[in-house]
Chains A and B, each alone.
Chain A
Amino acid sequence: MRAVWQALTRRSGWLGLFGATLLVVLVLLALFGPWLDLPDPTRTNLRARMVGPTITWFSLGAHPLGTDQLGRDILSRIVAGSRVTLMVAGAAVLLGGVLGTLLGLISGYFGGWVDRILMRLVDIQLALPLMLLALMVVAALGPSLRNLIGVLALVSWVRYARIVRGQVLAVREREFVQSARAIGASHSRIILRHILPNVLTPALVVATLELARVIVLEAGLSFLGLGIQPPDPSWGRMLADGRTYISSAWWIITFPGLALMLTVLAVNLLGDWLRDFFDPRLAVR
Protein backbone atom coordinates (compact mmCIF):
# COMPACT_ATOMS: atom_id res chain seq x y z
CA MET A 1 0.00 0.00 0.00
CA ARG A 2 2.82 2.36 0.89
CA ALA A 3 4.61 1.46 -2.34
CA VAL A 4 1.48 2.31 -4.28
CA TRP A 5 1.18 5.67 -2.56
CA GLN A 6 4.83 6.48 -3.14
CA ALA A 7 4.57 5.60 -6.80
CA LEU A 8 1.42 7.68 -7.14
CA THR A 9 2.90 10.78 -5.56
CA ARG A 10 6.15 10.60 -7.51
CA ARG A 11 6.50 12.98 -10.44
CA SER A 12 5.83 10.38 -13.11
CA GLY A 13 2.78 9.24 -11.19
CA TRP A 14 0.80 12.46 -11.15
CA LEU A 15 -1.42 11.47 -14.05
CA GLY A 16 -2.29 8.28 -12.26
CA LEU A 17 -2.95 10.23 -9.09
CA PHE A 18 -5.16 12.61 -11.03
CA GLY A 19 -7.15 9.75 -12.51
CA ALA A 20 -7.44 7.99 -9.16
CA THR A 21 -8.63 11.17 -7.42
CA LEU A 22 -11.17 11.90 -10.10
CA LEU A 23 -12.48 8.37 -9.93
CA VAL A 24 -12.71 8.42 -6.13
CA VAL A 25 -14.69 11.68 -6.28
CA LEU A 26 -16.97 10.16 -8.87
CA VAL A 27 -17.57 7.00 -6.89
CA LEU A 28 -18.28 9.01 -3.73
CA LEU A 29 -20.68 11.20 -5.66
CA ALA A 30 -22.46 8.16 -7.02
CA LEU A 31 -22.59 6.47 -3.62
CA PHE A 32 -23.79 9.47 -1.64
CA GLY A 33 -25.81 11.16 -4.40
CA PRO A 34 -29.19 10.32 -2.86
CA TRP A 35 -28.22 12.10 0.35
CA LEU A 36 -27.21 15.28 -1.41
CA ASP A 37 -29.89 17.94 -1.36
CA LEU A 38 -30.67 17.75 -5.06
CA PRO A 39 -34.00 17.91 -6.89
CA ASP A 40 -35.59 14.62 -7.92
CA PRO A 41 -33.87 13.70 -11.22
CA THR A 42 -37.07 12.30 -12.71
CA ARG A 43 -39.45 15.11 -11.70
CA THR A 44 -40.51 17.13 -14.69
CA ASN A 45 -41.43 20.80 -14.45
CA LEU A 46 -42.73 22.19 -17.68
CA ARG A 47 -42.73 25.74 -16.38
CA ALA A 48 -38.94 25.55 -15.94
CA ARG A 49 -38.00 23.99 -19.27
CA MET A 50 -34.51 24.55 -20.64
CA VAL A 51 -33.41 26.93 -17.92
CA GLY A 52 -29.75 27.83 -18.44
CA PRO A 53 -27.09 27.08 -15.82
CA THR A 54 -27.68 29.21 -12.77
CA ILE A 55 -24.29 28.55 -11.23
CA THR A 56 -22.16 31.65 -10.53
CA TRP A 57 -18.99 32.25 -8.58
CA PHE A 58 -21.08 33.01 -5.53
CA SER A 59 -24.04 30.67 -5.56
CA LEU A 60 -25.40 27.53 -7.14
CA GLY A 61 -28.84 28.85 -7.85
CA ALA A 62 -31.92 26.70 -8.37
CA HIS A 63 -30.48 24.61 -11.23
CA PRO A 64 -26.68 24.85 -11.19
CA LEU A 65 -26.28 23.14 -14.57
CA GLY A 66 -29.66 24.13 -15.96
CA THR A 67 -32.69 22.00 -16.81
CA ASP A 68 -33.55 19.89 -19.84
CA GLN A 69 -36.45 20.04 -22.27
CA LEU A 70 -38.82 18.62 -19.63
CA GLY A 71 -37.57 20.87 -16.85
CA ARG A 72 -35.58 18.16 -15.04
CA ASP A 73 -32.51 19.26 -13.13
CA ILE A 74 -29.39 18.33 -15.11
CA LEU A 75 -27.00 18.17 -12.15
CA SER A 76 -29.17 15.71 -10.28
CA ARG A 77 -29.61 13.68 -13.48
CA ILE A 78 -25.86 13.52 -13.96
CA VAL A 79 -25.32 12.40 -10.37
CA ALA A 80 -28.09 9.82 -10.65
CA GLY A 81 -26.72 8.78 -14.06
CA SER A 82 -23.28 8.19 -12.55
CA ARG A 83 -24.81 5.62 -10.22
CA VAL A 84 -26.29 3.72 -13.10
CA THR A 85 -23.20 4.03 -15.26
CA LEU A 86 -20.76 2.93 -12.58
CA MET A 87 -22.97 0.10 -11.42
CA VAL A 88 -23.56 -1.24 -14.90
CA ALA A 89 -19.95 -0.83 -15.96
CA GLY A 90 -18.63 -2.23 -12.68
CA ALA A 91 -20.89 -5.26 -12.77
CA ALA A 92 -20.14 -5.88 -16.45
CA VAL A 93 -16.39 -5.64 -15.91
CA LEU A 94 -16.54 -7.91 -12.90
CA LEU A 95 -18.67 -10.47 -14.67
CA GLY A 96 -16.72 -10.33 -17.91
CA GLY A 97 -13.45 -10.33 -16.00
CA VAL A 98 -14.25 -13.38 -13.93
CA LEU A 99 -15.64 -15.25 -16.92
CA GLY A 100 -12.81 -14.27 -19.25
CA THR A 101 -10.09 -14.98 -16.71
CA LEU A 102 -11.54 -18.37 -15.89
CA LEU A 103 -11.87 -19.36 -19.54
CA GLY A 104 -8.40 -17.99 -20.26
CA LEU A 105 -6.98 -20.09 -17.43
CA ILE A 106 -8.68 -23.22 -18.68
CA SER A 107 -7.74 -22.54 -22.28
CA GLY A 108 -4.10 -21.87 -21.51
CA TYR A 109 -3.63 -24.62 -18.95
CA PHE A 110 -5.24 -27.53 -20.70
CA GLY A 111 -4.51 -26.53 -24.29
CA GLY A 112 -5.59 -29.01 -26.95
CA TRP A 113 -9.07 -28.89 -28.37
CA VAL A 114 -10.51 -26.90 -25.44
CA ASP A 115 -8.00 -24.18 -26.22
CA ARG A 116 -8.67 -24.31 -29.95
CA ILE A 117 -12.43 -24.00 -29.54
CA LEU A 118 -12.24 -21.18 -27.00
CA MET A 119 -9.71 -19.21 -28.98
CA ARG A 120 -11.67 -19.54 -32.23
CA LEU A 121 -14.69 -18.24 -30.32
CA VAL A 122 -12.60 -15.29 -29.22
CA ASP A 123 -11.45 -14.71 -32.80
CA ILE A 124 -15.00 -14.78 -34.08
CA GLN A 125 -16.17 -12.36 -31.48
CA LEU A 126 -13.28 -9.99 -32.04
CA ALA A 127 -14.10 -10.00 -35.75
CA LEU A 128 -17.65 -8.77 -35.08
CA PRO A 129 -18.09 -5.06 -34.46
CA LEU A 130 -18.83 -4.71 -30.76
CA MET A 131 -21.71 -2.32 -31.18
CA LEU A 132 -23.36 -4.60 -33.69
CA LEU A 133 -23.08 -7.57 -31.39
CA ALA A 134 -24.44 -5.62 -28.43
CA LEU A 135 -27.27 -4.26 -30.54
CA MET A 136 -28.18 -7.71 -31.73
CA VAL A 137 -28.32 -9.19 -28.26
CA VAL A 138 -30.26 -6.30 -26.73
CA ALA A 139 -32.67 -6.27 -29.65
CA ALA A 140 -33.24 -9.99 -29.20
CA LEU A 141 -33.56 -10.04 -25.41
CA GLY A 142 -35.10 -6.62 -24.90
CA PRO A 143 -33.55 -3.73 -23.03
CA SER A 144 -33.29 -4.11 -19.29
CA LEU A 145 -30.63 -3.43 -16.70
CA ARG A 146 -29.81 -7.12 -16.37
CA ASN A 147 -29.58 -7.68 -20.09
CA LEU A 148 -27.42 -4.58 -20.46
CA ILE A 149 -24.93 -5.86 -17.91
CA GLY A 150 -24.98 -9.28 -19.55
CA VAL A 151 -24.33 -7.86 -22.99
CA LEU A 152 -21.48 -5.68 -21.82
CA ALA A 153 -19.89 -8.62 -19.98
CA LEU A 154 -20.30 -10.69 -23.11
CA VAL A 155 -18.43 -8.23 -25.27
CA SER A 156 -15.59 -7.82 -22.82
CA TRP A 157 -14.71 -11.35 -21.68
CA VAL A 158 -12.68 -12.05 -24.80
CA ARG A 159 -9.95 -9.57 -23.93
CA TYR A 160 -9.35 -11.14 -20.54
CA ALA A 161 -9.44 -14.61 -22.02
CA ARG A 162 -6.80 -13.72 -24.59
CA ILE A 163 -4.42 -11.96 -22.25
CA VAL A 164 -4.79 -14.48 -19.44
CA ARG A 165 -4.34 -17.42 -21.80
CA GLY A 166 -1.10 -15.97 -23.11
CA GLN A 167 0.18 -15.46 -19.59
CA VAL A 168 -0.83 -18.94 -18.56
CA LEU A 169 1.05 -20.44 -21.49
CA ALA A 170 4.22 -18.86 -20.11
CA VAL A 171 3.55 -19.55 -16.44
CA ARG A 172 2.50 -23.15 -17.07
CA GLU A 173 5.97 -24.06 -18.28
CA ARG A 174 7.68 -22.75 -15.18
CA GLU A 175 9.09 -25.29 -12.86
CA PHE A 176 7.00 -24.44 -9.85
CA VAL A 177 3.96 -25.77 -11.66
CA GLN A 178 5.69 -29.10 -12.02
CA SER A 179 6.76 -29.08 -8.41
CA ALA A 180 3.18 -28.35 -7.42
CA ARG A 181 2.18 -31.43 -9.37
CA ALA A 182 4.98 -33.35 -7.68
CA ILE A 183 3.44 -32.69 -4.28
CA GLY A 184 0.14 -34.08 -5.48
CA ALA A 185 -1.79 -30.90 -6.22
CA SER A 186 -4.84 -31.35 -8.46
CA HIS A 187 -5.38 -29.40 -11.68
CA SER A 188 -7.93 -27.06 -10.16
CA ARG A 189 -5.66 -26.38 -7.24
CA ILE A 190 -2.70 -25.66 -9.51
CA ILE A 191 -4.79 -23.36 -11.67
CA LEU A 192 -6.35 -21.42 -8.82
CA ARG A 193 -3.59 -21.44 -6.23
CA HIS A 194 -0.44 -21.41 -8.30
CA ILE A 195 -1.20 -19.95 -11.69
CA LEU A 196 -4.01 -17.47 -11.03
CA PRO A 197 -1.98 -15.24 -8.67
CA ASN A 198 0.69 -15.05 -11.35
CA VAL A 199 -1.69 -13.81 -14.05
CA LEU A 200 -3.88 -11.56 -11.92
CA THR A 201 -1.82 -8.44 -12.60
CA PRO A 202 -2.34 -8.27 -16.36
CA ALA A 203 -6.01 -9.18 -15.87
CA LEU A 204 -6.33 -6.24 -13.48
CA VAL A 205 -4.81 -3.86 -16.01
CA VAL A 206 -7.14 -5.13 -18.69
CA ALA A 207 -10.03 -4.62 -16.30
CA THR A 208 -9.32 -0.90 -15.85
CA LEU A 209 -8.97 -0.30 -19.57
CA GLU A 210 -12.04 -2.40 -20.13
CA LEU A 211 -13.98 -0.34 -17.59
CA ALA A 212 -13.49 2.78 -19.71
CA ARG A 213 -14.53 0.94 -22.85
CA VAL A 214 -17.61 -0.50 -21.22
CA ILE A 215 -18.68 2.91 -19.93
CA VAL A 216 -18.53 4.34 -23.44
CA LEU A 217 -20.31 1.33 -24.84
CA GLU A 218 -23.07 1.60 -22.27
CA ALA A 219 -23.50 5.29 -23.09
CA GLY A 220 -23.64 4.36 -26.75
CA LEU A 221 -26.34 1.76 -26.21
CA SER A 222 -28.35 4.13 -24.06
CA PHE A 223 -27.89 6.81 -26.71
CA LEU A 224 -29.50 4.46 -29.19
CA GLY A 225 -32.33 3.77 -26.77
CA LEU A 226 -31.24 0.19 -26.09
CA GLY A 227 -29.64 0.71 -22.73
CA ILE A 228 -31.13 2.33 -19.67
CA GLN A 229 -34.79 3.01 -20.22
CA PRO A 230 -36.44 6.35 -19.40
CA PRO A 231 -37.32 7.78 -17.01
CA ASP A 232 -34.16 6.43 -15.32
CA PRO A 233 -31.40 8.90 -16.06
CA SER A 234 -28.34 7.81 -17.97
CA TRP A 235 -25.63 9.82 -19.60
CA GLY A 236 -26.06 8.27 -22.99
CA ARG A 237 -29.78 8.93 -22.91
CA MET A 238 -29.18 12.55 -21.87
CA LEU A 239 -26.83 13.01 -24.82
CA ALA A 240 -29.49 11.64 -27.15
CA ASP A 241 -32.15 13.93 -25.73
CA GLY A 242 -29.95 17.02 -25.74
CA ARG A 243 -28.80 16.48 -29.30
CA THR A 244 -31.94 18.18 -30.71
CA TYR A 245 -31.44 21.30 -28.65
CA ILE A 246 -27.73 21.71 -29.15
CA SER A 247 -28.15 25.14 -30.81
CA SER A 248 -30.72 26.53 -28.40
CA ALA A 249 -29.79 24.89 -25.09
CA TRP A 250 -26.14 23.81 -25.21
CA TRP A 251 -26.03 22.81 -21.54
CA ILE A 252 -28.36 19.85 -21.95
CA ILE A 253 -25.84 17.89 -23.99
CA THR A 254 -22.60 19.49 -22.79
CA PHE A 255 -22.62 18.58 -19.11
CA PRO A 256 -23.44 14.87 -19.43
CA GLY A 257 -20.89 14.69 -22.24
CA LEU A 258 -18.32 16.30 -20.00
CA ALA A 259 -19.15 13.89 -17.18
CA LEU A 260 -18.72 10.94 -19.53
CA MET A 261 -15.45 12.25 -20.89
CA LEU A 262 -13.96 12.94 -17.47
CA THR A 263 -14.95 9.52 -16.18
CA VAL A 264 -13.42 7.70 -19.12
CA LEU A 265 -10.33 9.87 -18.91
CA ALA A 266 -9.94 9.15 -15.20
CA VAL A 267 -10.27 5.41 -15.69
CA ASN A 268 -7.87 5.41 -18.63
CA LEU A 269 -5.25 7.45 -16.80
CA LEU A 270 -5.46 5.11 -13.85
CA GLY A 271 -5.29 2.07 -16.12
CA ASP A 272 -2.24 3.36 -17.95
CA TRP A 273 -0.51 4.14 -14.73
CA LEU A 274 -1.41 0.75 -13.33
CA ARG A 275 0.09 -0.93 -16.36
CA ASP A 276 3.33 0.96 -15.93
CA PHE A 277 3.31 0.30 -12.21
CA PHE A 278 3.11 -3.45 -12.73
CA ASP A 279 5.59 -3.51 -15.60
CA PRO A 280 8.95 -4.37 -14.08
CA ARG A 281 10.79 -3.08 -17.13
CA LEU A 282 9.55 0.44 -16.49
CA ALA A 283 11.00 1.43 -13.13
CA VAL A 284 8.01 3.43 -11.93
CA ARG A 285 8.19 1.86 -8.49
Chain B
Amino acid sequence: MILNSKSRLPVREHASLFLSWMTMLMVFIAVLSLVGLMALTNLIDSWNRSISGSLTIQIPTYTIQGDSRGDAVQQDIDRTIDLLRQTPGVEDVTVLDETQMSDLMEPWLGASEKITDLPLPALLDVSLDDSQPFDFVAFKNQMQEAVPAAQVDSHRVWLSHLIETARAIQNMIAFILFLLILTTSFTVIYTTSSSLALQAPVIKLLHMMGARDTIIAFQYAFFNFLKALGGGVVGFVLALPIIWIASTLFNPVQDPLFDAARLSADQIYIVLAIPLMAALFAFVAAFLTILKTLGRLV
Protein backbone atom coordinates (compact mmCIF):
# COMPACT_ATOMS: atom_id res chain seq x y z
CA MET B 1 0.00 0.00 0.00
CA ILE B 2 1.50 3.29 -1.07
CA LEU B 3 -0.19 6.03 0.84
CA ASN B 4 -1.05 9.16 -1.09
CA SER B 5 0.19 12.63 -0.18
CA LYS B 6 -2.71 13.18 2.22
CA SER B 7 -2.20 9.94 4.03
CA ARG B 8 1.55 9.92 4.20
CA LEU B 9 3.16 9.38 7.54
CA PRO B 10 2.61 12.46 9.67
CA VAL B 11 6.19 13.45 10.41
CA ARG B 12 7.29 16.70 11.93
CA GLU B 13 9.04 19.03 9.53
CA HIS B 14 11.50 20.50 11.98
CA ALA B 15 12.68 17.05 13.07
CA SER B 16 14.21 16.41 9.68
CA LEU B 17 15.41 19.93 8.93
CA PHE B 18 18.81 19.04 10.30
CA LEU B 19 19.02 16.22 7.76
CA SER B 20 18.44 18.68 4.90
CA TRP B 21 21.14 21.01 6.16
CA MET B 22 23.59 18.20 6.72
CA THR B 23 22.96 16.69 3.30
CA MET B 24 23.35 20.08 1.67
CA LEU B 25 26.74 20.60 3.30
CA MET B 26 27.95 17.07 2.65
CA VAL B 27 26.84 17.06 -0.98
CA PHE B 28 28.47 20.45 -1.49
CA ILE B 29 31.82 19.15 -0.23
CA ALA B 30 31.39 15.78 -1.94
CA VAL B 31 30.70 17.36 -5.33
CA LEU B 32 33.76 19.60 -5.08
CA SER B 33 35.96 16.74 -3.89
CA LEU B 34 34.73 14.31 -6.51
CA VAL B 35 35.03 16.79 -9.36
CA GLY B 36 38.56 17.60 -8.18
CA LEU B 37 39.40 13.93 -7.87
CA MET B 38 38.04 13.10 -11.31
CA ALA B 39 39.79 16.05 -12.97
CA LEU B 40 43.06 15.09 -11.33
CA THR B 41 42.62 11.44 -12.32
CA ASN B 42 42.02 12.52 -15.91
CA LEU B 43 45.15 14.70 -15.84
CA ILE B 44 47.29 11.94 -14.40
CA ASP B 45 46.00 9.47 -17.00
CA SER B 46 46.69 11.97 -19.74
CA TRP B 47 50.19 12.72 -18.48
CA ASN B 48 50.86 9.03 -18.10
CA ARG B 49 49.84 8.47 -21.69
CA SER B 50 52.12 11.23 -22.87
CA ILE B 51 55.16 9.76 -21.17
CA SER B 52 54.45 6.22 -22.16
CA GLY B 53 55.33 4.58 -25.43
CA SER B 54 58.90 5.72 -26.04
CA LEU B 55 61.86 7.47 -24.54
CA THR B 56 64.94 9.09 -26.02
CA ILE B 57 68.37 9.01 -24.41
CA GLN B 58 71.21 11.22 -25.61
CA ILE B 59 74.82 10.24 -25.06
CA PRO B 60 77.13 13.15 -25.82
CA THR B 61 80.30 12.81 -27.87
CA TYR B 62 83.73 13.25 -26.34
CA THR B 63 85.52 15.73 -28.55
CA ILE B 64 88.77 15.50 -26.65
CA GLN B 65 89.32 12.11 -28.13
CA GLY B 66 88.79 13.52 -31.60
CA ASP B 67 86.49 10.68 -32.45
CA SER B 68 82.83 11.21 -31.89
CA ARG B 69 82.15 7.51 -32.07
CA GLY B 70 85.04 6.51 -29.97
CA ASP B 71 85.38 3.71 -27.46
CA ALA B 72 84.20 5.81 -24.54
CA VAL B 73 80.95 6.65 -26.29
CA GLN B 74 80.47 3.04 -27.25
CA GLN B 75 81.06 1.99 -23.64
CA ASP B 76 78.43 4.51 -22.50
CA ILE B 77 76.00 3.16 -25.09
CA ASP B 78 76.68 -0.42 -23.98
CA ARG B 79 76.21 0.44 -20.33
CA THR B 80 72.97 2.24 -21.14
CA ILE B 81 71.68 -0.70 -23.16
CA ASP B 82 72.63 -3.09 -20.33
CA LEU B 83 70.79 -0.92 -17.84
CA LEU B 84 67.74 -0.66 -20.09
CA ARG B 85 67.64 -4.45 -20.49
CA GLN B 86 67.53 -4.83 -16.73
CA THR B 87 64.82 -2.20 -16.32
CA PRO B 88 61.21 -3.43 -16.20
CA GLY B 89 58.88 -1.85 -18.72
CA VAL B 90 61.46 -1.56 -21.50
CA GLU B 91 60.46 -3.33 -24.68
CA ASP B 92 63.20 -2.50 -27.18
CA VAL B 93 66.26 -0.27 -27.65
CA THR B 94 67.53 1.04 -30.95
CA VAL B 95 70.71 3.04 -31.44
CA LEU B 96 70.08 5.46 -34.30
CA ASP B 97 72.53 4.80 -37.14
CA GLU B 98 74.02 7.38 -39.50
CA THR B 99 71.18 7.20 -42.01
CA GLN B 100 68.57 7.68 -39.32
CA MET B 101 70.56 10.54 -37.85
CA SER B 102 70.87 12.15 -41.32
CA ASP B 103 67.13 11.86 -41.83
CA LEU B 104 66.55 13.40 -38.45
CA MET B 105 68.91 16.30 -39.09
CA GLU B 106 67.88 16.90 -42.69
CA PRO B 107 65.45 19.75 -41.97
CA TRP B 108 68.23 21.72 -40.33
CA LEU B 109 71.43 20.53 -42.02
CA GLY B 110 70.33 19.58 -45.50
CA ALA B 111 70.65 16.23 -47.23
CA SER B 112 74.29 16.44 -48.31
CA GLU B 113 75.91 17.10 -44.97
CA LYS B 114 78.11 14.36 -43.52
CA ILE B 115 76.84 14.11 -40.01
CA THR B 116 79.75 11.98 -38.91
CA ASP B 117 81.84 15.12 -39.08
CA LEU B 118 79.60 16.85 -36.60
CA PRO B 119 79.76 16.40 -32.79
CA LEU B 120 76.23 15.11 -32.55
CA PRO B 121 75.22 12.97 -29.59
CA ALA B 122 74.41 9.31 -29.99
CA LEU B 123 70.65 8.81 -29.78
CA LEU B 124 68.99 5.75 -28.28
CA ASP B 125 65.34 5.24 -29.10
CA VAL B 126 63.74 3.24 -26.28
CA SER B 127 60.36 1.56 -26.81
CA LEU B 128 58.37 1.07 -23.62
CA ASP B 129 55.96 -1.71 -22.85
CA ASP B 130 52.63 -0.05 -21.96
CA SER B 131 51.49 -3.09 -20.07
CA GLN B 132 54.30 -2.74 -17.54
CA PRO B 133 55.01 0.21 -15.27
CA PHE B 134 58.14 2.18 -16.04
CA ASP B 135 59.67 4.17 -13.20
CA PHE B 136 61.21 7.24 -14.85
CA VAL B 137 62.62 8.70 -11.68
CA ALA B 138 64.36 5.50 -10.62
CA PHE B 139 65.67 4.96 -14.13
CA LYS B 140 67.06 8.48 -14.34
CA ASN B 141 68.85 8.03 -11.04
CA GLN B 142 70.36 4.78 -12.25
CA MET B 143 71.42 6.41 -15.50
CA GLN B 144 73.15 9.21 -13.62
CA GLU B 145 75.21 6.64 -11.77
CA ALA B 146 75.98 4.46 -14.78
CA VAL B 147 76.43 7.14 -17.46
CA PRO B 148 76.64 10.56 -15.81
CA ALA B 149 76.83 12.44 -19.13
CA ALA B 150 73.74 10.83 -20.60
CA GLN B 151 70.52 12.83 -20.85
CA VAL B 152 67.18 11.16 -20.40
CA ASP B 153 64.20 13.13 -21.74
CA SER B 154 64.08 15.72 -19.01
CA HIS B 155 60.51 16.92 -19.59
CA ARG B 156 59.28 13.38 -19.14
CA VAL B 157 61.09 13.06 -15.87
CA TRP B 158 59.68 16.41 -14.80
CA LEU B 159 56.25 15.21 -15.82
CA SER B 160 56.73 12.02 -13.85
CA HIS B 161 57.54 14.14 -10.80
CA LEU B 162 54.36 16.09 -11.45
CA ILE B 163 52.43 12.84 -11.72
CA GLU B 164 53.82 11.68 -8.40
CA THR B 165 52.77 14.93 -6.75
CA ALA B 166 49.37 14.79 -8.41
CA ARG B 167 48.95 11.20 -7.25
CA ALA B 168 49.69 12.23 -3.69
CA ILE B 169 47.01 14.95 -3.97
CA GLN B 170 44.70 12.43 -5.62
CA ASN B 171 45.13 10.02 -2.71
CA MET B 172 44.55 12.82 -0.26
CA ILE B 173 41.32 13.88 -1.96
CA ALA B 174 40.21 10.24 -2.16
CA PHE B 175 40.86 9.90 1.56
CA ILE B 176 38.92 13.11 2.28
CA LEU B 177 36.10 11.79 0.14
CA PHE B 178 36.17 8.51 2.03
CA LEU B 179 36.04 10.37 5.36
CA LEU B 180 33.24 12.50 4.00
CA ILE B 181 31.19 9.47 2.98
CA LEU B 182 31.85 7.89 6.36
CA THR B 183 30.88 11.08 8.22
CA THR B 184 27.79 11.55 6.07
CA SER B 185 26.75 7.96 6.72
CA PHE B 186 27.06 8.32 10.47
CA THR B 187 25.38 11.74 10.39
CA VAL B 188 22.41 10.44 8.42
CA ILE B 189 22.08 7.44 10.74
CA TYR B 190 22.38 9.65 13.83
CA THR B 191 19.95 12.24 12.46
CA THR B 192 17.49 9.52 11.56
CA SER B 193 17.73 7.98 15.01
CA SER B 194 17.32 11.36 16.73
CA SER B 195 14.42 12.26 14.52
CA LEU B 196 12.93 8.83 15.13
CA ALA B 197 13.01 9.42 18.87
CA LEU B 198 10.77 12.47 18.29
CA GLN B 199 8.53 10.48 15.97
CA ALA B 200 8.39 7.40 18.18
CA PRO B 201 4.92 8.09 19.67
CA VAL B 202 3.45 8.62 16.19
CA ILE B 203 5.16 5.56 14.77
CA LYS B 204 4.02 3.47 17.73
CA LEU B 205 0.47 4.74 17.30
CA LEU B 206 0.43 3.84 13.62
CA HIS B 207 1.82 0.43 14.53
CA MET B 208 -0.98 -0.08 17.07
CA MET B 209 -3.57 1.00 14.52
CA GLY B 210 -2.48 -1.79 12.24
CA ALA B 211 -0.16 -0.07 9.78
CA ARG B 212 2.36 -2.55 8.45
CA ASP B 213 5.96 -2.08 9.57
CA THR B 214 7.22 -1.86 6.00
CA ILE B 215 4.63 0.81 5.15
CA ILE B 216 5.54 2.90 8.19
CA ALA B 217 9.24 2.49 7.45
CA PHE B 218 8.72 3.29 3.76
CA GLN B 219 6.70 6.42 4.49
CA TYR B 220 9.19 7.73 6.97
CA ALA B 221 12.16 6.76 4.79
CA PHE B 222 10.57 8.39 1.76
CA PHE B 223 10.13 11.60 3.73
CA ASN B 224 13.79 11.37 4.70
CA PHE B 225 14.63 10.78 1.04
CA LEU B 226 12.81 13.94 -0.05
CA LYS B 227 14.43 16.02 2.69
CA ALA B 228 17.90 14.71 1.85
CA LEU B 229 17.30 15.13 -1.88
CA GLY B 230 16.21 18.73 -1.37
CA GLY B 231 19.28 19.49 0.71
CA GLY B 232 21.48 17.58 -1.73
CA VAL B 233 20.22 19.49 -4.76
CA VAL B 234 20.85 22.81 -3.00
CA GLY B 235 24.36 21.65 -2.03
CA PHE B 236 24.98 20.59 -5.64
CA VAL B 237 23.81 23.92 -7.04
CA LEU B 238 25.98 25.81 -4.54
CA ALA B 239 29.03 23.85 -5.69
CA LEU B 240 28.52 24.74 -9.36
CA PRO B 241 29.88 28.34 -9.24
CA ILE B 242 33.01 27.12 -7.47
CA ILE B 243 33.56 24.44 -10.11
CA TRP B 244 33.03 27.08 -12.80
CA ILE B 245 35.57 29.41 -11.19
CA ALA B 246 38.09 26.55 -10.90
CA SER B 247 37.58 25.55 -14.53
CA THR B 248 38.10 29.16 -15.58
CA LEU B 249 41.37 29.30 -13.68
CA PHE B 250 42.61 26.20 -15.50
CA ASN B 251 41.24 27.30 -18.85
CA PRO B 252 42.53 24.82 -21.45
CA VAL B 253 43.07 27.58 -23.97
CA GLN B 254 45.53 29.27 -21.65
CA ASP B 255 47.21 26.12 -20.46
CA PRO B 256 46.94 22.98 -22.62
CA LEU B 257 48.58 21.01 -19.83
CA PHE B 258 45.24 20.97 -18.07
CA ASP B 259 43.12 20.29 -21.12
CA ALA B 260 42.73 16.66 -20.15
CA ALA B 261 41.14 17.63 -16.83
CA ARG B 262 37.75 17.97 -18.51
CA LEU B 263 35.25 15.48 -17.14
CA SER B 264 33.83 12.85 -19.45
CA ALA B 265 30.09 12.40 -19.88
CA ASP B 266 30.13 9.35 -17.60
CA GLN B 267 31.93 11.30 -14.91
CA ILE B 268 29.43 14.15 -15.17
CA TYR B 269 26.59 11.65 -14.72
CA ILE B 270 28.29 10.32 -11.58
CA VAL B 271 28.63 13.85 -10.16
CA LEU B 272 25.02 14.60 -11.05
CA ALA B 273 24.00 11.45 -9.20
CA ILE B 274 25.57 12.54 -5.89
CA PRO B 275 22.43 14.23 -4.46
CA LEU B 276 20.37 11.23 -5.50
CA MET B 277 22.83 8.80 -3.95
CA ALA B 278 22.88 10.80 -0.70
CA ALA B 279 19.07 10.78 -0.67
CA LEU B 280 18.98 7.04 -1.35
CA PHE B 281 21.37 6.48 1.51
CA ALA B 282 19.13 8.56 3.79
CA PHE B 283 16.18 6.45 2.62
CA VAL B 284 17.89 3.13 3.32
CA ALA B 285 19.25 4.31 6.69
CA ALA B 286 15.81 5.49 7.81
CA PHE B 287 14.05 2.40 6.47
CA LEU B 288 16.34 -0.01 8.30
CA THR B 289 16.40 2.05 11.52
CA ILE B 290 12.62 2.19 11.69
CA LEU B 291 12.21 -1.48 10.85
CA LYS B 292 14.64 -2.29 13.65
CA THR B 293 12.72 -0.07 16.09
CA LEU B 294 9.37 -1.49 15.06
CA GLY B 295 10.81 -4.98 15.34
CA ARG B 296 11.19 -4.39 19.08
CA LEU B 297 7.47 -3.69 19.45
CA VAL B 298 4.92 -6.48 19.88
Whether chain B is bound by chain A comes out as no
List the interface of chain A (C-beta within 8 A of B): none
